[in-house]
Structure 1
Amino acid sequence: MNDIKKAKQYESARMFRQIIPYVGTISEQLEPGTLIVLRGQVPSDSDRFQVDLQCGSSVKPRADVAFHFNPRFRRANCIVCNTLKNEKWGREEISYDVPFKEGKSFEIVVMVLKDKFQVAVNGKHTLIYAHRISLEKIDTLGIYGKVIIHSVGFSFSSDLRSSQASTLEWTEISEENAQKSGVSQFTLPFVARLNSSVGPGRTVVIKGEINTNAKGFSVNLLSGKSKDIALHLNPRLNVKAFVRNSFLQESWGEEERNITCFPFSPGMYFEMIIYCDVREFKVAVNGVHSLEYRHRFKDLSHIDTLEIDGDIHLLEVRSW
């Protein structure tokens, strides 16, 4: 599953058992698309720890903190997020959905987006925090409190750009999906014929943002000639089910729903990677492997059309 593994790149990873507090300079400018990955463990006696994206490392006066991520384990079991400006804290944003457990290992992934930070812990979407300080001012990572950190990694947007495949080529099917000035205007339902069929080794990438009141959306890979759906992906946010199925010979098959962790939440940005293997499709969401789906449609060379619809804002579609 090399293609999906490539989606999880941490080029600037540093392995260490770092003494906390840790304060280090971020080697490149944070831009939309940057990933920050921390792997570590919560000690059994931990009461709290924090990860700060800072504007410098000054102590007196204290440097501004653009994003303060602060899990707390005593009294109120919660995650507090905030911003420090001119040595004054702003309004706290508190989440009581705490994925950390004392004595257990964790992986925190902070995805930098245009207008917010999106945080996942152990592969599960955890929270969203809107920017209060511009990304250009952030140059320092600070880690404090009772926590053990094994590694810190960065995947900068420049790294992603250098390894990107070419933009998906597709033949117009729906007139609304016209390309204007070289920029794709994605309207839903989105229907496009792929530049080549989805056979073994082929990858489709879909990027989007889920509506805040979303109930669900669907992604279909199908044969444009027969209208058979080889792969139907249907995340249902209202019931937290990731449904998979096929529509063959004018009939739906048996649904598959089993999944370790439902990877979607209202308002979140996502990147879904669909990789076609010889025996199955493999799907990853935001760099984390989510599921496999065994082929039911036998002639993969006829899978030539992509359909997307539902409660999302579609940002980008690519295939190679």
Structure 2
Amino acid sequence: MQGKMAQTGHQRTILNPVVPYVGTIFGGLEPGQMVVVHGTVPSDADRFQIDFQCGSSIHPRSDVAFHFNPRFKGSGHIVCNTLQNEKWGWEEKTYHLPFTKGQPFEVIFLVFHHKFQVSSNGKNLLVYKHRIGLEKVDTLGISGKVKINSIGFLSQPTILGSQPTSFAVNSIEGNQGRSEKLLTFSVPYTGCLPSALIPGKTVVIKGEVHKYAKRFAIDLKPHGSKDIALHLNPRIKEKVFVRNTYLCESWGEEERHLLDFPFCPEMYFEILIFCELQQFKVAVNGVHQLEYKHRFKDLNKINEVSVNGDVELHDVRIW
């Protein structure tokens, strides 16, 4: 094993490994884990790669379940692929390159039972569906022109920075009482919050965007009322994140401005809505996105959340 290993709680970290690096992933990979890589791209870099491998053999070459390969020629792109029986499959290309020559980077590989989800420098980057079973992945390889400062393997029950939650939302359809891991909410979903969304409270919505999603919506409102205190409406095709309020049977003025649209098809998300005295703050996958000033002023009446549209809903919580 190249590099120095530190171990704290659920995190295992390899510090300053020499590249090319090949190391065993002790215990393998499991859904809910994150692999976090910090490094720097040299100023003369042409490409580098991070490979989730099934072994470390060179002759014959071990299968590579997930080949993540940023290339800097021209405007740059990322190639993702799988190597089986020493043959490459079809390339999946992403033409957004978040890496810059001469600059440090963070790349996070979030592990699911059916896919990897990759983000870099706080922004969602791509989704790669498994072509080889996750249980076969036992080795991480890094090569090419790149300097690696640390590789972290993080295993924890809540991911992407959301805090443990103290109340499961009681669904009106009767989903309460099951364990969190088995709980699946049907969409459209409406649930009553166990306490009002007053200042200091946070609602978290966890789910996945459908492959061919057009849009979805999250509404916070008073139970039994047509009013909607906060309407969050990501529109995937348009890459627009609409926010609004519905009062007295009328929509207000839409707020649309956002520096970067944080959603894409097939991505897992955690949306955190934090209520402050004057506004809501909204974060997606641990990254702050926007503030929304209260238009519905009677905050202690906000006690219902609904989700509809092109998403699979995993969990809704308040704390």
Q: Post-superposition shift, 1:201? A: 2.6
Q: Which residue of 2 aligns with 1:136?
A: 135
1:31 CA displacement: 1.6
* Residues in 1 aligned to 2:297 and 2:75: alpha-carbon distance in whole angstroms: 53
- Report the secondary structure of 2:300's partner residue: helix
Q: What is the CA-CA distance between 1:70 and the residue it aligns to?
A: 0.4
Q: Structure 1 pair 197/113, CA: closer, same or farther in 2 (3 Å)?
A: same
Runs of 5+ in structure 2 lacking a partner?
1-8
What amino acid does structure 2 have at the position aligned with 1:170? N
Aligned to 1:179: 175
Percent identical among aligned pairs is 53
Residue of structure 2 equivalent to 1:245: 244
Give the direction of change, closer, same or farther, for the CA distance of 1:224–1:94 in structure 2 (3 Å limit): same
Which residue does the alignment assign to 1:6? Answer: none
For residues 300 and 180 of structure 1, the distance between their equivalents in structure 2, rounded to whole angstroms, comes to: 25
Contact 2:169 2:176 in 1 (8 A): no
The amino acid that maps onto 1:103 is: G
Residue 49 (structure 1) shift = 0.3
Q: Please, what TM-score do these two structures have when normalized by structure 2?
A: 0.85
- Aligned residue pairs total 305
Shift of 1:181: 8.8
Per-residue deviation, 1:243: 1.4
Segment drifting more, 182-191 vs 205-214: 182-191
After superposition, the C-alpha distances for 1:232-281 in whole angstroms (9 at most, x for unaligned) are 11111122111112223333233222222111112222222222233332
Partner of 1:260: 259
Contact persistence 2:170–2:176 (CA under 8 A): no
Moved over 4 A (4+): 157-160
The residue number in structure 2 matching 1:168 is: 168
SS at match of 1:301: helix
Matches within 5 A, 1:70-109: 70-74=69-73, 77-109=76-108
Q: Which amino acid aligns with 2:198?
A: G
Structure 2 equivalent of residue 296 of structure 1: 295
Change (3 A) 1:53 1:243: same
Q: Is the 8 A contact 1:211 1:312 kept in 2?
A: yes
Amino acid in structure 1 at the alignment position of 2:103 = K
Cα pair 2:169 2:316 within 8 Å, conserved: no
**Paired residues for 1:191-270 under 5 Å:** 191-270=190-269
Q: Is 1:41 matched up with 2:49?
A: no
Give 1:13 shift.
Answer: 6.0
In the other structure, the counterpart of 2:3 is none
- Whichever residue aligns with residue 170 of structure 2, its letter is W
Deviation, structure 1 residue 184: 4.6
- Report the more deviating stretch, 222-231 or 46-55: 222-231
Question: Are the structure 2 counterparts of residues 180 and 251 from structure 1 closer, same or farther at C-alpha, using a change threshold of 3 Å?
Answer: closer
CA RMSD of aligned residues (A): 2.6
C-alpha distance in 1 between matches for 2:171 and 2:89: 49
Give the structure 1 partner of residue 23 of structure 2: 24
Shift of 1:178: 3.8
The separation in 2 between residues aligned to 1:16 and 1:59, in whole angstroms, is 24
Q: Deviations over 1:99-125 (max 9, x none)?
A: 322223322121111211111222332
- CA displacement at 1:212 relative to structure 2: 2.1
